[in-house]
Amino acid sequence: MDKFLQEKAPIFEALKRYKSNRIVRFDVPGHKGGRGNRELTNFLGQDCLTVDVNSMKPLDNLSHPTSVIKEAEKIASEAFGSKNTFFIVNGTTAAVQAMIMSTCKTGDKIIMPRNVHRSAINALIISGAIPVYVNPGVDKKLGISLGMPLSHVKEAILKNKDAKAVLVNNPTYYGICSNLDKIVEMAHENNMLVLVDEAHGTHFYFGDDMPISAMEANADMAAVSMHKTGGSLTQSSFLLCGKNVNSNYVRQIINLTQTTSASYLLLASLDLARKNLSLNGNDIFKRTMDLAQYAREEINNLGGYYAFSKEIIDGDKVFDFDETKLSIHTLDIGLAGIEVYDILRDEYGIQIEFGDIGNILAIISAGDRILEIERLISALSEIKRLYEKDKIGMLESEYIDPEVVLPPQRAFYGSKKPISIDNSLGGISAEFIMAYPPGIPILAPGERITRNVLDYIYYAKEKGSLLTGTQDMKIENIYVLEG
């Protein structure tokens, strides 16, 4: 990596030049550098509002970059080892959807794990692509879905030779990685592209002793959520493309849905986050790993909790593990993960990433301090002392094998009617139901509503999970297909 090149931040530098020129503003945004909305300016700061600007020649245009954004894309490509890189300001959702929509058209098959983020299934609804689901492995003790077993991926490829691509999570929300290197090899041997959802894997490109990254594994595209572990502003991401991808076509696909009024705050944050990681990533993620490992050891010493790590690697369903993830199993103290999540926030002022049926996830970064880690450990100890109970009757698994009846697009746009969830058993869903976060659907359009699905929904609601996806905001009714 060229250190001199990585020290540059073209978008950020262009914004500084623009600001110093004291341009008279007769363009949007209408707050005119903050003067038109003083309360907002006082809240976010004058420096922020003065660089919240519109596209113009000196600042380039994200939809068709020819100068500073184009240069920033090239520098990011060198940092990530990709052939081309796109700045995404509609969130990693837009990057995941662009991967699928630039690869698959109506009726094309794509092989993917069922524990994908909602954004991937949304892309199927928009594009009309047909999913070939590979059920992930399941750890019955932890109650979590794992990676895709190689034998299952191979079977799906051989049975669906006409599939256009394989999509892989690298890692899952819990930090679990599939054998990406081998999956890429198998897919390419069968003329399929490999698309990688790396929403939680930014650090794989910059830290030592990390699981393999998508570009290192020679995958074809990767959606990288820089704002999650890379230090950029929320909603900013990169879409990386390898040598087998027509990046000019990918840009056209991105421009179908991405805003034409790109936020320069988001663009500059991506530029500066990439610079910071390129120059300091090893140190940043070593500290992150050390903090996570310390927290794991101390939490496991409390008893009752299980902060899992590389010991769950089995060489297949768990091919590797991201040690920066602080994933903690809670069922053995008689509390669902979402219950621990709520107690931490409401009674201890600690906001973690999410809680599900059996686990919680705390995101650790170099921005954390040991004092805050100690506070989390202390709170978990007290929660165990105050709230521990028998685990009898608790639901233990968060993954349910889906019964897929129709492609998502046909179900979503099909003739449908609302019905009480209580009376929906056996129906074919035309909507999503998911807990957010993590945003992995419990039920997706085109899937049959089974007893296991209903039991999970009732249990999640009882425990306090935030369920989303149906038109009915109370999640009491659901649209099912007629007939």
Strand partners, 86: 239
Per residue in 405-421, pLDDT tens?
999 999 999 999 999 99
The whole-angstrom separation of Cα 181 and Cα 8 is 32
The whole-angstrom separation of Cα 452 and Cα 421 is 13
Per residue in 329-376, pLDDT tens?
999 999 999 999 999 999 999 999 999 999 999 999 888 999 999 999
Q: What CATH number does the domain located at 408-481 have?
A: 3.90.100.10
pLDDT of res. 469: 95
Angle between helices 91-103 and 247-257 (to 10 degrees): 130
| Cis ω before 29 (30° cut-off from 0) | yes
The whole-angstrom separation of Cα 167 and Cα 162 is 15
pLDDT of res. 252: 98
The whole-angstrom separation of Cα 275 and Cα 259 is 25
Q: Is the pLDDT of residue 397 over 90?
A: no
459, 475 contact by CB (below 8 A) = no
pLDDT of res. 437: 77
Specify the 3-state DSSP secondary structure of 402.
Answer: coil
Please determine whether the domains at 3-278 and 408-481 fall in the same fold group of CATH.
Answer: no
178, 147 contact by CB (below 8 A) = yes
Residues counted in the chain:
483
The whole-angstrom separation of Cα 198 and Cα 116 is 11
Mean residue pLDDT across the chain: 95
What does the angle CA 455 – CA 456 – CA 457 come to, to the nearest 5 degrees?
A: 90
Segment 192-201 shows an average pLDDT of: 97
The domain limits of the chain are 3-278, 408-481
The whole-angstrom separation of Cα 223 and Cα 86 is 10
| pTM, rounded to two decimals | 0.95
Q: What CATH number does the domain located at 3-278 have?
A: 3.40.640.10
